Structure 1
Amino acid sequence: MSGAFMFHGGRVSEAARLYGGAPEDWLDLSTGLNPSPWPAQAPVDWTALPDPDALARLEAAAARHFGVEPGLCCAVPGSETALRLLGKALALPGRALVPAYRTHKEAFFPSRPAQFGEVPRGQEVFVMANPNNPDGVLRAPEAVIEWARHIHEAGGFLIVDEAFADCQPEASVAGAVAPGFRMIVLRSFGKFFGLAGLRLGFVLGPPALMMLLRQMLGSWPVHSAALALGEAAYGDSAWIAETRRQLPVRAAALDTVLRRHGLSPEGDCPLFRLVTGCEGKALFERLARARILVRPFAEHPDWVRLGVPADPAALDRLGEALA
Structure 2
Amino acid sequence: MSAVEHGGNLGEARRLFPQTTQPWLDLSTGINPWPYPIPPIPAEAWTALPSPDDTRELEAVAAQCYGVPFDACIVATPGTQAAIQWLPRLFPAGSVAVLSPTYTEHARAWALAGHHVLEARRWEELESATIAVIVNPNNPDGGYFGREELLALAAEKQAKGGALILDEAFADVVPQISLASMAGTPGLIMLRSFGKFFGLAGIRLGFVLAEPSITGRLRQAMGAWAVSGESIAIGRVALADILWQNGTRASLRTARQELDADLTGAGTVLGGTDLYRLLQTPHAPALFRQLGQAGIWVRRFADHPRWLRFGLPGNAEAAERLRAVLARHHSRETHAM
Give the TM-score category using the shorter length: over 0.9
Alignment of 1:120-269 (within 5 A): 120-121=127-128, 124-178=130-184, 181-259=186-264, 261-269=265-273
Aligned pair partner of 1:104 in 79, 88, 106: 106
Letter in 1 for 2:25: L
Q: Is the 8 A contact 1:121 1:154 kept in 2?
A: no
Please give the secondary structure, in 2, of the residue aligned with 1:299.
coil
Unaligned runs of 5+ in 2: 328-337
Compare 249-258 and 307-316 and name the one that shifted more.
Answer: 307-316
Letter in 1 for 2:244: W
Please give the secondary structure, in 2, of the residue aligned with 1:301.
coil
| 2:291 is aligned with 1:274 | no
Alignment of 1:25-36 (within 5 A): 25-36=23-34
CA distance in structure 2 between the aligned counterparts of 1:97 and 1:159, rounded to whole angstroms = 11
Rate the CA distance shift 1:224–1:239 in 2: closer, same or farther, 3 A.
same
Rate the CA distance shift 1:286–1:95 in 2: closer, same or farther, 3 A.
same
Q: TM-score, normalised by structure 2?
A: 0.89
Count of aligned residue pairs for this structure pair: 317
CA distance in structure 1 between the aligned counterparts of 2:308 and 2:126, rounded to whole angstroms = 31
CA distance in structure 1 between the aligned counterparts of 2:79 and 2:152, rounded to whole angstroms = 27
CA distance in structure 1 between the aligned counterparts of 2:21 and 2:206, rounded to whole angstroms = 27
For residues 213-238 of structure 1, give each alpha carbon's deviation from its aligned partner in whole angstroms, at most 9, with x where no partner exists: 11111111111111100111001111
Q: Is the 8 A contact 1:73 1:202 kept in 2?
A: yes
| 2:81 is aligned with 1:80 | yes
Cα distance, 1:23 vs. partner? 9.8
Letter in 2 for 1:53: D
Cα distance, 1:145 vs. partner? 1.9
Cα distance, 1:278 vs. partner? 2.8
Please give the secondary structure, in 1, of the residue aligned with 2:277.
strand
Aligned to 1:66: 66
Q: Is the 8 A contact 1:36 1:194 kept in 2?
A: yes
Aligned to 2:5: 7
For residues 65-106 of structure 1, give each alpha carbon's deviation from its aligned partner in whole angstroms, at most 9, with x where no partner exists: 111111000001111111111101112331100101111111
Compare 11-20 and 104-113 and name the one that shifted more.
Answer: 11-20
CA distance in structure 1 between the aligned counterparts of 2:268 and 2:300, rounded to whole angstroms = 15
Identity of aligned residues (%): 41
Please give the secondary structure, in 2, of the residue aligned with 1:267.
strand
Q: Is the 8 A contact 2:266 2:326 kept in 1?
A: no
Please give the secondary structure, in 1, of the residue aligned with 2:234.
helix
Letter in 2 for 1:202: F
Compare 267-276 and 223-232 and name the one that shifted more.
Answer: 267-276
Please give the secondary structure, in 2, of the residue aligned with 1:56.
helix
Aligned pair partner of 1:41 in 28, 39, 42: 39
CA distance in structure 2 between the aligned counterparts of 1:140 and 1:268, rounded to whole angstroms = 17
For residues 198-217 of structure 1, give each alpha carbon's deviation from its aligned partner in whole angstroms, at most 9, with x where no partner exists: 11100000101111111111
Over the residues paired in the alignment, what is the CA RMSD in angstroms?
2.0
Cα distance, 1:118 vs. partner? 4.5
Cα distance, 1:17 vs. partner? 4.3
Q: Is the 8 A contact 1:138 1:268 kept in 2?
A: no
Unaligned runs of 5+ in 1: none
Compare 43-52 and 74-83 and name the one that shifted more.
Answer: 43-52
